[in-house]
Chains A and B, each alone.
Chain A
Amino acid sequence: MDAVKGSSKAGALPLLLPAILFLVLLFLYPFAYGLYLSLTTAKGEPSLGNYLRFFGEARDFRTIWVTLQIAVPITLVNVGLAVPFAYYMRRGMRGERLITFFLIIPITLGTVLVSEGMLSFMGPKGWLNQLLLALHVVAEPYRFTHNYLGVVISLGLQGFPYAFLMLLGYVSGINPDLEKASQMLGANRWQTFWKILFPLMIPGIAISFCLNFVMAFSVFPSAVLLGQPSGPTRVISIAAYQWAFEKFNFNAASAISMVMAAIELLVISAVLVWRSRMYKGASMVGKG
């Protein structure tokens, strides 16, 4: 048995090479190069100036806060909504395929098309406002676009399906007998959800929160198209873009993207710490 294992490990290395090469060329090298750029001046001299400038200039520094204000609430909403939806649909239901289809559309169409659609649908003269006016819900067109709300809505449309589909996979993978067992031991639905299903969903919730957050934190197209890129929705990626392609200072832009990565890592580690505190069980589902 061990001999077989050993030989299969040795044999696996050549098979892994393409993947390793891919990772090094397309991820590790650019990342390392970016880190190098961020720590040097345009002339290649080592310097912390790029970081000092970012943290020193309020206009750039505040983009962290602006982006967090967009990313954190919408990620919480996406995951928070996905949990009950996934719970409700865990055993499948009529029309599940149709619902899944509609949820996948925003992902497949891409951000730009969704943003364009929202601009006309939710714009001052769009159907939504026409309807609200006709129903006398509002007196004058409500501004859904070109502001904070527009960016958040588009991130919801894009992020919720991810969170939902991911959690659905998680919940429907939980042995249905666990719910029955809990019920037979005297727990009602509510108790069964909080004591059994929710704790077992935590790893899935953590992962989908992380992915959703990273997606929302690095928002760019919808912040430009649906927000106010000059002010309230000048997110961190816009700042990086402007340094790179308007001021042609790649070193400063690299520093900003390093800051972005650091914040994302920080949030992800915080979530994973929460996860390990909440979920102590060995592996998921397994035999039981």
Chain B
Amino acid sequence: MKDFKTISVRGMTKRFGEKTAVNDFSLEFGKGEFVTFLGPSGCGKSTALNCITGLIPITSGEIWIDDECVDNTKTKIPPEKREFGMVFQNYALFPHLTVFENVAFGLRLRRVRKAELSRRVDTALRLVHLEGYAAKFPTQMSGGEQQRVAIARCIVLEPRLLLLDEPLSNLDAKLRVELRYEIKALHERLKVTTIYVTHDQTEALALSDRIVVLRSGRIQQVGTPSEVFSDPANLFVADFMGFKNVWTVRVKSLREIGGALEASLDAQGIPLTARMAWPEGDKRRTVLAEAFRTGAEMRTAVRPEDIVIAGAAGENRIACAATLVEYQGQASQVSATPRLAATSDDGSPLRLDLRTGSRIAEGGSFEVSVPGDKILLFPPTETAAEAAGWTP
């Protein structure tokens, strides 16, 4: 394997006719990093992956490995010469070859000598815990085992970059968790630079060093799992990371309290106080101040599990009635409407989504408290956020 420091993708764009599948995609990743492309189906994450492999030709942009030009639309290294490995959602094992021959496929093309070949195949199969499966055919194995063979088939070649395209999506829930754990362990051990494509936020959070959230071919946010999870860049990322309670609010007052910014909000008639721990000089402070000055709308986002059933104390108390209770074992997912007549501009009642361990009956009344430091504020749309320069 040729050694390298960074892979950099610059302004990569892919158009299919009128449709832009990947739009101005720029990203740098270092050797050994585990990067995940996360987004809903059709967001361009798989296309981006295929563009990086060269299997789909890019419309414009460049891909570099250190100072080696991999692709700049004019000169490009063909996929088979990039020394990248790819794992497919449907495993894509060669059905007419045994497990051994599947794993040996790339080595044979490289004319590796017999003794070394079987040693390397054995090592790869041991790494994915498939000793003793060498003589089997793919169709005689379970989905999880097949995907392990696919992974072994790649890592036996020691690729510069390993690309996994929704590798766990065809597996059942239990196997998915098991194999996810193994992919993580394998990465810890081999430190192969990896790009992982998924629509599952749990997978992304569990595996990645960095997460790239995509929507309609555009990067929405790049950050560590905890950054993306707790400080999403916009409403789209927040929604994808499990935030709910998106309410239209107007800022009534702003004041500084001990390094944090405290905003009094009017959420469709319900008063709320939110505290943002944004550091001095954060661009978001300016945007929020501007919204306060002009009276522009903002949006909140609060995780259902952050809303608590109010005891004696607690701020932002809202009396509400449960409209729908979904039992989920340890906790219940509850939808509720406030007792206080609070309607949005379009007339629909405010909706609260919370997750609680307490038993709440459908139609029952209760009081919740929304911790002020758990309320996130965003410009009303992603485009507005981008235009205002809203970045965490």
Q: Determine if B332 is an interface residue (Cβ-Cβ < 8 Å).
A: no
Which B residues are in CB contact (< 8 Å) with A285? 95
Given contacts A184-B79, A186-B110, A288-B146, contact A175 B90 (CB under 8 A): yes
B97 touches which one: A177, A281, A283 (CB < 8 A)?
A: A281
A82 to B95, CA, bound (A): 23
> Whole-angstrom distance from the CB of B81 to the nearest CB of chain A?
8
A282 and B95 contacting across the interface, CB-CB below 8 Å: yes
A200 and B96 contacting across the interface, CB-CB below 8 Å: yes
Contact residues on B (Cβ < 8 Å of other chain), bracket? 20 to 34
A187 and B92 contacting across the interface, CB-CB below 8 Å: no
B91 and A287 contacting across the interface, CB-CB below 8 Å: yes
Nearest-CB residue, chain B, relative to A180? B55
A280 to B79, CA, bound (A): 29
B 79-94 to A, binary, CB cutoff 8 A, 1 in contact else 0: 1110011101011111
Q: Determine if B143 is an interface residue (Cβ-Cβ < 8 Å).
A: yes
Given contacts A187-B109, A282-B139, contact A182 B79 (CB under 8 A): no
Q: How many A-B residue pairs have CB under 8 A?
A: 91
Q: Determine if A199 is an interface residue (Cβ-Cβ < 8 Å).
A: yes
B95 and A185 contacting across the interface, CB-CB below 8 Å: no
At the interface, is chain A mostly helix, strand, loop or mixed?
A: loop
> Whole-angstrom distance from the CB of B76 to the nearest CB of chain A?
14
A 247-288 to B, binary, CB cutoff 8 A, 1 in contact else 0: 000000000000000000000000000000001111111111
Nearest-CB residue, chain A, relative to B79? A183
A287 to B150, CA, bound (A): 13
> Whole-angstrom distance from the CB of A193 to the nearest CB of chain B?
13
A106 to B84, CA, bound (A): 48
B80 and A186 contacting across the interface, CB-CB below 8 Å: yes
Q: Determine if A72 is an interface residue (Cβ-Cβ < 8 Å).
A: no
Q: Determine if B137 is an interface residue (Cβ-Cβ < 8 Å).
A: yes
B109 touches which one: A177, A186, A283 (CB < 8 A)?
A: A186
Q: Determine if A191 is an interface residue (Cβ-Cβ < 8 Å).
A: yes
Which A residues are in CB contact (< 8 Å) with B37? none
> Whole-angstrom distance from the CB of B253 to the nearest CB of chain A?
58
Given contacts A184-B55, A288-B90, contact A199 B110 (CB under 8 A): no
A195 to B352, CA, bound (A): 59
A286 and B95 contacting across the interface, CB-CB below 8 Å: yes
A283 and B95 contacting across the interface, CB-CB below 8 Å: yes
A residues 156-204 with Cβ under 8 Å of B? 175, 177-178, 180-188, 191, 195-196, 199-200
Select the residue from B88, B92, B138 with max chain A CB neighbours within 10 A: B92
A181 touches which one: B88, B110, B140 (CB < 8 A)?
A: B88
A288 and B105 contacting across the interface, CB-CB below 8 Å: no
B93 and A288 contacting across the interface, CB-CB below 8 Å: yes
A283 to B85, CA, bound (A): 26
B88 touches which one: A180, A187, A279 (CB < 8 A)?
A: A180
> Whole-angstrom distance from the CB of A91 to the nearest CB of chain B?
13
Nearest-CB residue, chain B, relative to A177? B92
Which A residues are in CB contact (< 8 Å) with B97? 281
Q: Determine if B153 is an interface residue (Cβ-Cβ < 8 Å).
A: yes
Nearest-CB residue, chain B, relative to A285? B95
B residues 43-86 with Cβ under 8 Å of A? 53, 55, 78-81, 84-86
> Whole-angstrom distance from the CB of A286 to the nearest CB of chain B?
5
Nearest-CB residue, chain B, relative to A174? B95
B157 and A186 contacting across the interface, CB-CB below 8 Å: yes
A281 touches which one: B55, B78, B137 (CB < 8 A)?
A: B137
Q: Determine if B363 is an interface residue (Cβ-Cβ < 8 Å).
A: no
A184 touches which one: B80, B137, B143, B146 (CB < 8 A)?
A: B80
A177 and B90 contacting across the interface, CB-CB below 8 Å: yes
Select the residue from A181, A185, A200 with max chain B CB neighbours within 10 A: A185
Nearest-CB residue, chain B, relative to A178? B92
A287 and B80 contacting across the interface, CB-CB below 8 Å: no
A181 to B102, CA, bound (A): 11
Which B residues are in CB contact (< 8 Å) with A177? 88, 90, 92
Which A residues are in CB contact (< 8 Å) with B139? 281-283, 286-288
Q: Which residues of B contact A (CB under 8 A)?
A: 53, 55, 78-81, 84-86, 88, 90-97, 105-106, 109-110, 137-140, 143, 146, 150, 153-154, 157
Closest 8 CB pairs of A and B: A281-B96, A185-B106, A177-B92, A282-B139, A181-B92, A184-B86, A288-B93, A186-B109
29 residue pairs A–B, Cβ–Cβ below 8 Å: A175-B92, A177-B88, A177-B90, A178-B92, A180-B86, A180-B92, A181-B86, A181-B94, A181-B150, A182-B105, A183-B55, A184-B84, A184-B85, A184-B86, A185-B105, A185-B157, A186-B80, A186-B106, A186-B110, A200-B95, A279-B96, A282-B139, A283-B139, A286-B95, A287-B143, A287-B146, A288-B93, A288-B94, A288-B146
